[in-house]
């Protein structure tokens, strides 16, 4: 009967979906800690061991979690060395051989020792594929940017019909980027205005939360930081994964793009030479440079170290050079505020990430 054939087709499609979907989701999973969560409870929910979950986030199984923390759930086919474990014990536990582990993990040589917390790939591991580009639809009102800072939501039209930076765009962004309300507003770089406008339109006019704008020198904020000169901000976009926001930033010309898998924002800035980085630190902590696979080991940080897959940084391909022009134009009203466009801070390009946002801001 025709209805039986259709039923079998639906069953087969459903089986294929449930067989493939968990594998892709497992590679990208993150968990935001809620009140009452513990590492053991989260590990059971995601079907991973407590030790692997803890070591993947540089914690111990007994560590106390704070609501709002973002934990990375290790994907299938990845394990972490526990204190006191040997390579032979790991091979027996996962029904494989020491030789196979050495073949899959090129850093494991015959005389090398394993370290607690070291990430190991197991047989059957499949690296996460890049998520397909998603279209977020056209913005309801192109050019109108909705920015949220704390409890204030401000609609801003930063560019005019000729894509010149407006006085409103400079003044509103200067006010929103202040660290404290009593601080005097300082004008941001006009290219940063273009950058936020491009992000807003690309993601369908969704609200942009400004997590951190201007900062003072101190702590992990260096004098060369673009947060000090008004050329950088940490943001998130409502309903948009931070990874998608980071990927879009990397497609623009002369921008800096920082991805923080354990936090809730993406760093974006304007600069002379493009740069991107992945930082596995927590808010307000010392930078922990790495790539999308995880934090770099100490050997990766040595400049003399030979290039290896574990130390590789993500590439960059600029495909939207026109969205954030290198030479910006201002309206007459904006030029009255800023007679000359300031030069971009040269600074040294970061090799081990940029500073994280302050804990109170993120």
pTM score, whole prediction: 0.65
Q: Please state which CATH number belongs to domain 24-121.
A: 3.10.350.10
The residues pairing with 152 across neighbouring beta strands, listed in sequence order, are 149
The SS3 of residue 145 is: strand
**Half-sphere exposure (CA, 13 Å, Cβ side) for 276?**
23
User: Do residues 221 and 228 make contact, with C-beta atoms less than 8 angstroms apart?
Assistant: yes
Q: Would you state the structure tokens that stand for residue 89, as one six-digit string?
A: 């014990």
Q: Please give the pLDDT value at position 9.
A: 46
Q: How confident is the model at residue 127 (pLDDT cuts 50, 70, 90)?
A: low
Give me the residue spans of the domains in the chain.
24-121, 145-337
The structure tokens 């090799």 sit at 351
Q: Per-residue pLDDT for 22 more than 50?
A: no
Q: How confident is the model at residue 27 (pLDDT cuts 50, 70, 90)?
A: very low
Average pLDDT over residues 267-273: 93
Cα separation, 341 vs 339, whole angstroms: 7
The residues pairing with 221 across neighbouring beta strands, listed in sequence order, are 218
* Residues in Cβ contact with 249 at an 8 Å cutoff, skipping those fewer than 6 apart: 199, 255, 257, 266, 268, 276
The structure tokens 């030069």 sit at 343
User: Do residues 251 and 320 make contact, with C-beta atoms less than 8 angstroms apart?
Assistant: yes
Parallel, antiparallel or unpaired: strands 275-279 and 255-259:
parallel
Average pLDDT over residues 146-160: 93
Q: Would you state the structure tokens that stand for residue 48, as one six-digit string?
A: 């991973």
User: Do residues 336 and 170 make contact, with C-beta atoms less than 8 angstroms apart?
Assistant: no
Q: Per-residue pLDDT for 114 more than 60?
A: yes
């Amino acid at each position: 009967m025709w209805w039986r054939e259709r039923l079998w087709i639906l069953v087969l499609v459903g089986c294929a979906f449930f067989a493939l979907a968990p594998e892709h989701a497992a590679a990208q999973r993150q968990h935001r800690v809620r009140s009452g969560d513990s590492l053991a409870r989260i590990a059971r929910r995601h079907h991973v061991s407590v030790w692997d979950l803890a070591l993947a986030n540089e914690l111990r199984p007994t560590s106390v979690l704070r609501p709002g923390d973002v934990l990375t759930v290790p994907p299938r086919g990845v394990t972490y060395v526990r204190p006191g474990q040997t390579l032979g014990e790991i091979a027996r536990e996962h029904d494989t051989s020491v030789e196979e582990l050495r073949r899959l993990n090129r850093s494991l040589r015959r005389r090398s020792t394993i370290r607690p917390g070291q990430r190991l790939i197991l047989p059957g591991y499949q690296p996460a594929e890049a998520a397909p580009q998603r279209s977020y639809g056209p913005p309801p009102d192109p050019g109108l940017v909705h920015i949220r800072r704390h409890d204030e939501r401000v609609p801003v039209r930063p560019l005019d019909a000729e894509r010149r930076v407006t006085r409103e765009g400079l003044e509103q962004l200067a006010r929103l980027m202040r660290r404290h309300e009593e601080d005097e507003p300082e004008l941001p770089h006009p290219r940063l205005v273009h950058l936020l406008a491009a992000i807003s339109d690309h993601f369908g006019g969704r609200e942009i939360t400004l997590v951190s704008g201007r900062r003072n020198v101190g702590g992990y904020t260096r004098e060369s930081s673009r947060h000090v000169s008004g050329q950088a901000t940490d943001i998130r976009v409502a309903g948009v994964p931070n990874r998608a926001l980071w990927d879009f930033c990397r497609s623009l010309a002369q921008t800096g793009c920082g991805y923080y898998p354990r936090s809730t924002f993406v760093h974006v800035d304007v600069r002379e030479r493009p740069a991107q980085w992945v930082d596995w630190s927590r808010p307000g902590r010392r930078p922990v440079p790495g790539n999308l696979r995880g934090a770099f080991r100490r050997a990766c940080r040595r400049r003399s170290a030979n290039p290896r897959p574990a130390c590789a940084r993500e590439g960059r391909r600029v495909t939207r050079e026109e969205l954030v022009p290198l030479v910006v134009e201002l309206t007459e009203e904006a030029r009255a505020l800023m007679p000359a466009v300031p030069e971009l801070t040269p600074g040294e390009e970061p090799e081990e990430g940029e500073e994280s946002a302050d804990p109170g801001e993120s």
